[in-house]
Amino acid sequence: MTTVHANEIALGIESFGDHDAPLVLLAGGTTMLSWPDALCERLAAGGRRVVRYDLRDSGESTTTDPQAPDYTLRDLAADAAALAHKLGGRPAHLAGVGVGGMVARVAVLDHPGAFSALTLVGTRSVRPGPPDDDLPDHDRATMSRLFARPMPDWTDRESVAEFAAAGAEIRGDDPVAARAIAARIWDRTPGTAPPVQLANQMGMVFSRLDCEPRWRERLPAIEVPTLVVHGRRDPFFPVGNGEAIAREIPGARLLVLEEAATVIPDAAVGEVTEAMLTLGQRAAGKRDRLVRDAARGGCRRSGEHARHSRSGHI
């Protein structure tokens, strides 16, 4: 893992695979650890350069006061575009999970030239808070149980890990995996960080993000090949949210993970990897067609120029 500077901030990143291979950029739900190690490794084995990164206020990236974050969702989107440029300049396959999916959509809309494909995992088409009337809201019983938990001691590794494990069990995710990931997040937090930064690591700050203007109405403008992945048993963003996104982005493919809740379980890593690699191939094919069409257009213009020259028209 290392830190790079892009868009005038520091972003923590981890790379997998051949440096010269097509780039897959993974925006975490909070930290980069939202993306399973096994998925990163399989994408790399499939011929991709994989870079997962920490959003602001998580992991090793720039942090701010969680009571008054000085950035918007569009700034996070600009971070993704700047990072893609920093890592090689060619259009990247951008993927986001949870809040990272919100970031990814706005990034593709605001910076279309930076990205060749889009994968969205476990997210929805409106900002945190009450959804639109036609979208399913969080499962109330699940949310009540989540908010009934006592807050952990953010300075204590075991307390944070237990808090995460209990939350995963309530959501229907793997509590053992959640405990391990939370411990890794805690270990990556600078030792001098105040407890409030540890709260940031777990995603508390993102509920306060300014997400204007709305991006749902802009979804039909997304032109890159898109994959929408959603857990059938997701109580936080029920599967109807993923179905709506797939309907509203032209040509998007929906992949429903029947036994998944809010994260990609180990059993589904292979299926998701294959779908992402296939999406990347679609994007490459589309790019090649555009290049060929542009070349043919140039040849036609050259031929017409020559004909006009011979006939004395110019």
What is the secondary structure of 159-217 as a DSSP string?
A: HHHHHHHHHHHHHTS-HHHHHHHHHHHHHHS-TT--HHHHHHHTTGGGGG-B-PSPSGG
Q: Which of 212, 261, 233, 238 shows the shortest CA–CA distance to 102? A: 212
Per residue in 216-236, pLDDT tens? 999 999 999 999 999 999 999
User: Residue 297: is its pLDDT beyond 70?
Assistant: no
Taking the C-alpha atoms of residue 268 and residue 275, their distance in angstroms, rounded to an integer, is 11
Q: How big is the CA angle at 262 (ends 114 and 270), to the nearest 5 degrees?
A: 70
Per-residue pLDDT band at 286 (split at 50, 70, 90): confident
Taking the C-alpha atoms of residue 125 and residue 94, their distance in angstroms, rounded to an integer, is 17
Q: How much is the pLDDT for 16?
A: 98
Q: How much is the pLDDT for 313?
A: 43
How does DSSP classify residue 68?
S
Per-residue pLDDT band at 66 (split at 50, 70, 90): low
Taking the C-alpha atoms of residue 184 and residue 123, their distance in angstroms, rounded to an integer, is 23
Q: How much is the pLDDT for 295?
A: 64
What sign for the dihedral angle of Cα 162, 166, 168, 173? positive
To the question of domain 2-139+193-310 being in CATH 3.40.50.1820, the answer is yes
